[in-house]
Amino acid sequence: MGFVSIEKLNKQNEYIAEIRALIKGLSKKAFVFTLGCQQNEADSEKLMGMLKSMGYTITDKENEADVLIVNTCAIREHAERRALSIIGRFKHYKNSNPDIIIGVCGCMTAQEHRMEQMKNSYHYVDFTFGTGALHRLPEFIYNAINKSKRYFDKDIEIPEIAEGININRQSKYKAWVSIMYGCNNFCTYCIVPYVRGRERSRKMEDVLNEVRDLVKKGYKDITLLGQNVNSYGKDLEKRPTIADLINEIHKIDGDFWIHLMTSHPKDASEEMLEAVSKSPRTKGHFHLPLQSGSDEVLCRMNRRYTTEKYLKIIESLREKTPEVVLTTDIIVGFPGETDEDFEKTIDLIKKVKYDSIFSFIYSRRKGTPADKMKEQISEEIKHERYDRLCQVQNEIAYEKNQMMVGKIVKVLVDGKSKNNENVYTTRTDGNKIVHIESDKDYTGQFINVKITRADTFALYGEKI
Ligand code: 5AD
Ligand code: SF4
């Protein structure tokens, strides 16, 4: 494991300089379409940062772009289908202008069968690459401008980290900071370890410098990203822990929140829970994916914890910080999930009373062990269970949101609501949405609001 060498990064900087010279004065534009999770959003901000360095203006209008990049997701079949349909849509741009450059990257194209599909069936795609070759975008664009052969990168598991890439942040007050990449856990349903490689952590000093810089620039809401932030640092020489990192961030002056996305229960240490609940920056929200409330299913998912251990973590966290907003991920319809298993999930979410859950219908992923399991669940049963789960959770969320009425909370203003002129959408440190009316625009600022009303999906309040 290691870091992309200075020589390799310099080589990319040379490509950047060459492209700048080639397109100078031509007003070239680039469009990046992002699918998937926050890690992909963060990757796309780097892609855009590099494109800007090359001299492209970033546009949100695909029909005026000279470079089109699709940053894909592979977590579920639906995400791949969307990617394929978007890539399909780009064909007519190339037909009307053969100089247009089309690249596809991210988790979907980190799978060999998808890369081959792009190569053989999408002839207008100039290049594809996986998640590990992000820093080589300048090279791929340079070769495409010079009409070199189409290129399909096979370096799927690059075990390296590239530091120092320009980041074109999409928000002035919310930022993603990747603290580690990849995953070692191989949950049996999940494609991530195959498309993002093994865990590698950024050096603590690099992360801290990035956070300090963001805070100095006025960023208020920073999410530390990793597939399992609880194992941060295990691959680093000094073996810092996530608790060390949180404690160091806590020392940075400024008014800002920190979110962790995402934690694995098997690695949730007391030390980490202590650090999270001690700091006002982190104690508002904790996301702890459960996946299933049945120990048998958890075992077949290779999650390596029991519901008993999971509940102990929740108990410990709530003891330390009773107000914490808890969220989770649940998969319904994992192979072999019986009605009894599913009822155990329902019982568990009733017991924990999450503020909200992200629920997913199990999606077969080629190359994962669960895809080969015999007892696949019918679509009908999966959908029935999904609907039931949402219904139960909606009741819990409604109940929990009602408990917020009358409270005064600090929120970060996200911006004007789409449907209503004087209404602004804001968020609490627990990521709960609060709509407020205001004549003044406080976007990007913290304000205090009194919660006046609540429903299942949002709170309503007034500025005080
Ligand atoms: N099918 C459905 N949901 C999945 N997730 C991961 N893989 C799959 C899959 N094959 C969910 C998990 C994970 C979240 C990011 O996506 O709940 O925590
Ligand atoms: Fe996928 Fe499990 Fe890794 Fe999360 S911890 S990315 S669910 S393999």
DSSP for 233-250? Answer: TTTSTT---HHHHHHHHH
CA 234 to ligand 2 centroid distance, Å: 17
The answer, yes or no, to whether residue 190 has pLDDT greater than 60, is yes
Least confident of 145-154, 234-243, 391-400: 145-154
Mean pLDDT of 5-31: 96
Decide whether any atom of ligand 2 lies within 6 Å of the 292 Cβ.
Answer: no
Indicate whether 7 and 143 sit together in one domain. Answer: yes
Q: Which residue has the higher pLDDT, 2 or 382?
A: 382
Task: Report long-range pairs for 275-281 (Cβ below 8 Å, ≥24 apart).
Answer: 275/242, 275/243, 275/246, 275/247, 275/250, 276/246, 276/317, 276/321, 277/317, 277/320, 277/321, 277/324, 278/247, 278/250, 278/320, 279/246, 279/247, 279/249, 279/250, 281/249, 281/250, 281/256, 281/257
CATH of the domain at 116: 3.40.50.12160
Decide whether any atom of ligand 2 lies within 6 Å of the 188 Cβ.
Answer: no
Q: Residue 409: exposed, middle, or buried by beta-carbon count in 10 A (0-12, 13-18, 19+)?
A: buried
Indicate whether 298 and 435 sit together in one domain. Answer: no
Decide whether any atom of ligand 1 lies within 6 Å of the 431 Cβ.
Answer: no
The answer, yes or no, to whether residue 226 has pLDDT greater than 80, is yes
Indicate whether 23 and 130 sit together in one domain. Answer: yes
Last residue of a domain, one of 388, 403, 418: 403
Specify the DSSP class assigned to residue 291: B
14 assigned to some structural domain: yes
Nearest in space to 461 (alpha carbons), one of 420, 411, 421: 411
Q: What is the pLDDT of residue 203?
A: 97
Last residue of a domain, one of 231, 255, 283: 283
Indicate whether 397 and 418 sit together in one domain. Answer: no
Percent of the chain at pLDDT above 70? 99
Range of the domain at 136: 2-160
- The two beta strands, 285-287 and 325-332, are parallel
Decide whether any atom of ligand 1 lies within 6 Å of the 382 Cβ.
Answer: no
Ligand nearest to the CA of 376: 1
388 assigned to some structural domain: yes
Cis, bond preceding 262 (omega within 30 deg of 0)? yes
Provide the number of structural domains found in the chain: 4
Q: What is the pLDDT of residue 421?
A: 79
Mean pLDDT of 409-435: 93
Q: What is the pLDDT of residue 418?
A: 83
Beta bridge mates, 2: 160
pLDDT band for 157, please (50, 70, 90 cuts): low
Taking residue 440's Cβ as centre, other Cβ atoms within 10 Å add up to: 11
Indicate whether 183 and 320 sit together in one domain. Answer: no
At 204, which helix (H) or strand (E)?
helix 204-216
Last residue of a domain, one of 283, 310, 330: 283
pLDDT band for 155, please (50, 70, 90 cuts): confident
CA separation for the pair 284, 349 (Å, rounded): 20
In this predicted model, what pLDDT tens digit does every residue of 293-349 receive, in sequence order? 999 999 999 999 999 999 999 999 999 999 999 999 999 999 999 999 999 999 999
165 assigned to some structural domain: no
Indicate whether 316 and 331 sit together in one domain. Answer: yes
User: Mean of the per-residue pLDDT values for the chain?
Assistant: 96
In this predicted model, what pLDDT tens digit does every residue of 32-79 receive, in sequence order? 999 999 999 999 999 999 999 999 999 999 999 999 999 999 999 999
Mean pLDDT of 245-273: 97
CA separation for the pair 164, 50 (Å, rounded): 11
CA 411 to ligand 2 centroid distance, Å: 31
The answer, yes or no, to whether residue 1 has pLDDT greater than 60, is no
Instruction: Indicate which atom in ligand 2 lies nearest the CA of residue 191.
Output: 1
Instruction: Find the angle CA(350)-CA(328)-CA(267) to the nearest 5 degrees.
Output: 115
Phi-psi region of 252 (alpha: psi -120 to 50; beta: other; left: phi over 0): beta
Instruction: Supply 40's token pair.
Output: 């992909």
Q: What is the pLDDT of residue 167?
A: 96
Sheet containing strand 285-287, edge to edge, reads: 285-287, 325-332, 356-361
At 287, which helix (H) or strand (E)?
strand 285-287
